[in-house]
Amino acid sequence: MRPAQSRTTKLRLGTGGRVVIPAAFRDALGLKANEVLFARVENGEIHLLTATAAMRRAQAIVRQFVPEGVSLVDELIEERRRGAARRKRRG
């Protein structure tokens, strides 16, 4: 774990509700200017997620509902092939 990930830092709420994320935190996460972050409030805490972290979280949620050994990619490709075959038969 990098130092910025395990360190707590005091921040001040600025004008318009702005909070500056310290450089060490931005560097640890590889954040650049204008990068999109996702925020949620949970148990009185504000959680910020990078787009990559949010995608991993969404994938983990979906993975719970996919049976072992099933490939959603393979199922999607097969569905698309069947759709293309139906359209071809119709002319």
The string of pLDDT tens digits covering residues 77-91 is 999 999 999 999 997
Would you state the structure tokens that stand for residue 80, as one six-digit string? 């698309």
Residue 1 has pLDDT above 50, yes or no: no
Secondary element (H or E) of residue 47: strand 45-50
Q: Report the alpha-carbon angle 57-60-61, nearest 5.
A: 90
In the chain, count H helices and then E strands: 4, 2
Mean pLDDT of all residues in 57-76: 93
Question: Rounded to two decimals, what is the model's pTM?
Answer: 0.62
Question: Are 25 and 4 in contact, with CB atoms under 8 Å apart?
Answer: yes
Predicted pLDDT at 2 = 53
Could you tell me the sign of the dihedral formed by the alpha carbons of 26, 52, 41, 32, in that order?
positive
* DSSP secondary structure code for residue 71 in this structure: -
